[in-house]
Amino acid sequence: MINGNVKKIKLKEGYEVYTRSVGKGKLPILLLHGGPGGCHECFEAMEKYMDLEKYTLIYYDQLGSYYSDPVEDDSLLTLERYVDEVEQVRAGLGLEYFALLGHSWGGMLAIEYALKYQNYGYLKGVIISNMTASNDSYEKGLSEVRKDMLEPEELAYIEAIEAKEDYDDKRYQEIIFQKLYPQCIFRGEEWPAFFAPEKMAHNVYNKFQGNNEFIVTGTLKSWDRWDDLKDISVKTMIIGAKYDTMSAKDKEEMASRIPNAELLICPKGSHFAFLDDVENYYPRLQKFLETI
């Protein structure tokens, strides 16, 4: 890991969020981690694969996340405020020409940011990595994933547990975290340290998402931007993966609806395709960035 330049951005709400810039490139890439409530450490592996003479990676922990100030005020846990936070960070860093890469929840933020701020002229390209355009689509995709990867008895068991909302059930937890997560979330041999429970802002995650990746019970459940994708005018790259929790068909549909978009489906990857399918992810990503 390269140390880089750390800068804390003071938000108008009075909190501070953490950023760190690595690289010498003329094109800054602001990275939006997933979760919600994850942290920037998931992106540090990019230093091995990105040309840091061409690009500057800007890590950023969103409010409540591990390196930024914690947040206990539920009124701040809204999608609109987090989108506004991205713009505050852009302004605080003085970025007048940049690309935005959002993974998972970060991809949702990237979609929202592009729709709200693209006409200001700062955003030159957006990468929506491993995120679909609605949580209804996400849940439909999850249903297919669960059917494909679980035995009928296992599927019936977790559905019964979810009907009772007994998410702490031991066997339920085993099926979700020991069987589904290693197939769809990260397919590498050793799980990176950033997956450790203490690195996750659980209050943020639970508020927005719910108990786990395979059911949406939080406030984002009704999120839907399918009809608005046509309004994204900046250059866009949609990235998905064969084994992702997010449907590859959804990614194809997203790329067809965004006027200036290209598509990559990583054939070996899962939800963290930038970690478990690096040979397909990074060459195409950098080829796209060269067009910005």
Per-residue model confidence (pLDDT) at position 215:
78
Spell out the alpha helix ranges (H) of 178-277. 181-184, 202-208, 248-257, 273-276
Indicate which residue of 61, 244, 276, 277 is catalytic: 244
Q: Considering the domain 5-134+225-289, what is its CATH architecture?
A: 3-Layer(aba) Sandwich (3.40)
What are the residue ranges spanned by the domains of the chain?
A: 5-134+225-289, 137-208
Look-up of token digits 């005020």: 73
SS3 assignment, position 274: helix
Per residue in 70-90, pLDDT tens? 998 999 999 999 999 999 999
Indicate which residue of 21, 65, 104, 247 is catalytic: 104
- Kindly indicate the confidence band of residue 218, based on its pLDDT and cuts at 50, 70 and 90: very high
- Kindly indicate the confidence band of residue 213, based on its pLDDT and cuts at 50, 70 and 90: confident
Does residue 6 carry a pLDDT above 80? yes
Per-residue model confidence (pLDDT) at position 17:
98
Does residue 252 carry a pLDDT above 90? yes
Q: What is the mean pLDDT of the chain?
A: 96
Q: Please choose, from the candidates 41, 222, 227, 73, the residue with its C-alpha nearest in 3D space to the C-alpha of residue 136.
A: 222
Which helix (H) or strand (E) segment is 158 a member of? helix 152-164
Least confident window among 11-15, 208-212, 278-282: 208-212
Does residue 210 carry a pLDDT above 90? no
Least confident window among 14-18, 29-33, 190-194, 268-272: 190-194
Distance of alpha carbon 37 from alpha carbon 23, whole angstroms: 25
Indicate which residue of 33, 40, 271, 276 is catalytic: 271
Does residue 212 carry a pLDDT above 80? no
Per-residue model confidence (pLDDT) at position 227:
98
Per residue in 88-102, pLDDT tens? 999 999 999 999 999
Q: Please choose, from the candidates 230, 286, 216, the residue with its C-alpha nearest in 3D space to the C-alpha of residue 261.
A: 230
Does residue 118 carry a pLDDT above 80? yes
- Kindly indicate the confidence band of residue 3, based on its pLDDT and cuts at 50, 70 and 90: confident
Q: Give yes or no: 104 in active site.
A: yes
Q: Give yes or no: 244 in active site.
A: yes
Q: What pairing do the DSSP bridges indicate for beta strands 55-61 and 16-22? A: antiparallel
